[in-house]
Structure 1
Amino acid sequence: MNPNRLRWGALAWLLTLQFFVVEAIAASRFEGSYSRADDTISALGAADSAAATLMNASFVVQGVLILTGTLLLRPALMRGAADVAPVLLGGAAVGVVLVGVFPTDGNSTMHAIGAVLYLLGGGLALIALAYAVRPRSELLGTTLALLGLIGTAATVFFLTGVVDVLGNGGTERAAGYVLPIALAVAGAALWRLGVPSSDASTEERLTRREERELIRAERAERDRRRDEALEAAVRRPVSESPAVDADGTEDDPWAGQGRRRD
């Protein structure tokens, strides 16, 4: 994986924290009373919010940052969960964009669909992402898994109306806050860990392959030399016949000294 790709992907996920800055600004400019426990985040993007445009723009930017980081960091993910996490994160990214494009007091149906995609997709995506990064960092994987479980449980409570403990807004925030927090943590951790070890494994496999090819080439060269030596031996001229003396007897060089002619 290219180090620059890893760096920009991690930065994109880190910048998802912009959501908290914009939300704080929008809440401070909200006319009348605004309670984080009782009022939903979407209320900050409604027409009666002084910072509605800023809040809705933040939703759209959030979706772009999530999707950008997901696409850039996908090679850094491992295992089969790597194929699931980008899909769920992509769904969450589309969902938060819909929330920003269709405010709650506008097209409420599209807004609701976007909210469900973001909340439910985000929680499940973190669980899948945890399994994807755990081979590189068990601590990171465990952290993401816990945040994913919290977000998924809070989403179920929010969608089913079980909000007595944290309130409507508090339950929604428990479901929605975990994704940018987890992505920022994951982005920083992956940036710190650097290029995945799988790339080093690839280089190692290439080196081993080159070594095997070199061994095969040396073996072939030895076989070729052996064959040439055998062919040369076969083509060698037959030795001349043993010398014959004038009396017609052979001078046998292999005979004992007594049989040789003086």
Structure 2
Amino acid sequence: MPHPVADPTPPPHPRRWHRRLSRHTMGCLAWLLQLQFLVVNVIAQLAWPHDTAPYSLMSNAVSDLAAVSCGTVAGSGVYICSPLHVLMNVSLVTNGILMLVGALSFGVGHLTETTRLTTARALLALAGAGTVIVGLAPEDVALVPHVVGAGMMMVLGNLGFLLLGLLMRGDDWQLRVGRTRLGSIVTFFGVAGVVGTVALASILLSGYDGRYLGGGAVERVSIFSLVFGEIVAGFVALTLGPWRQRRRHHSALGYRRPNEVHDTDEQPAHTA
């Protein structure tokens, strides 16, 4: 009777596995550190001079917190003045870099590298670059680059994140939060971001001032769906991913914990 042929594929080299893990971990940390953007948003809003014109989440745009000068917006009569605009712009540039690093590093060595995944990474990387442009070109200093950068962040970023979520749902790398797959969570945030972006575009193309149509709130759905989604993805993959991969790696090397008992193991003989 012929003996079964052993699988000639060697187990992953430990150094290569740790190198992949390090790059993936760097991507997770980059996305997780986008928490700084949320914190700076709150701080900048609290520093807004409420005695003149309170900052409104419904009518004021996120970019208003990064406006360099104080004054009334032409055509709308909305007064803008952000004392912490420097901090906000630095946060935007930092967040763009974090988005870019995460886009190029998240899931490396775990997700199946395909053309569609490369497309998703490229879209997310361009969104990060757009965020950097937004921080370097405030709305009251260079409006055209600012709008282009914001469009890259919201349109390309949410499309890329939605594509990433769909790819994660069908990939072998399945991480779960309870019974929910991480791919499904990423897809949810991607859909929310795309819906928010389409709604914001509809308001802007309607010819009416978006500040009176809840444009600030709709813009936040588009922006923060992407930011929140990447933070959640980074946190879940950082806390669950290495543990899952380490177990798979040890299994490939035939490693067993000393106290691990299997049904197929020989049991020690008991002496009378």
Task: Indicate whether 1:14 and 2:48 are aligned.
Answer: no
Q: Residue 145 of structure 2 aligns with which residue?
A: 110
For residue 93 of structure 2, the aligned residue among 60, 67, 71 is 60
Q: Residue 34 of structure 1 aligns with which residue?
A: 55
Residues 1:166 and 1:174: Cα distance change in structure 2 (over 3 Å): farther
Q: What's the offset of the Cα at 1:144?
A: 1.1
Q: Residue 243 of structure 1 aligns with which residue?
A: none
Q: Residue 242 of structure 1 aligns with which residue?
A: none
Q: What's the offset of the Cα at 1:74?
A: 4.5
What TM-score, normalized by structure 2, do the two folds share?
0.68
One-letter amino acid of the counterpart of residue 68, structure 1? V
Q: Residue 224 of structure 1 aligns with which residue?
A: none
Q: Distance in 2 between matches of 1:52 and 1:164?
A: 20
Matches within 5 A, 1:1-262: 1-2=17-18, 3-31=21-49, 32-47=53-68, 48=70, 49-75=82-108, 76-78=110-112, 80=114, 81-134=116-169, 135=171, 136-137=174-175, 139-161=181-203, 167-195=214-242
Provide the aligned C-alpha RMSD in A. Answer: 2.6
Aligned length: 205
Structure 1 unaligned residues grouped into runs of 5+: 208-262
Q: Distance in 2 between matches of 1:26 and 1:169?
A: 15
Q: Distance in 2 between matches of 1:61 and 1:130?
A: 24
Contact 1:78 1:133 in 2 (8 A): no
Q: Distance in 1 between matches of 2:213 and 2:238?
A: 34
Output one character per residue of 1:141-193: Cα deviation in whole Å (capped at 9) or x when no partner.
11111111111111111122176997010000000001111111111121233
Q: What's the offset of the Cα at 1:131?
A: 2.5
Contact 1:74 1:86 in 2 (8 A): no
Output one character per residue of 1:109-154: Cα deviation in whole Å (capped at 9) or x when no partner.
0000000000111211111111232222362111111111111111
DSSP 3-state at the match of 1:77: coil
Moved over 3 A (4+): 162-166
What TM-score, normalized by structure 1, do the two folds share?
0.71
Q: Residue 231 of structure 1 aligns with which residue?
A: none
Larger proportion of helix: 1
Q: What's the offset of the Cα at 1:43?
A: 0.4
Structure 2 unaligned residues grouped into runs of 5+: 1-16, 71-81, 255-272
Output one character per residue of 1:169-224: Cα deviation in whole Å (capped at 9) or x when no partner.
00000000011111111111212332576x959x96x99xxxxxxxxxxxxxxxxx
Identical-pair percentage? 32
Contact 2:59 2:212 in 1 (8 A): no
Q: Residue 259 of structure 2 aligns with which residue?
A: none
DSSP 3-state at the match of 2:86: helix
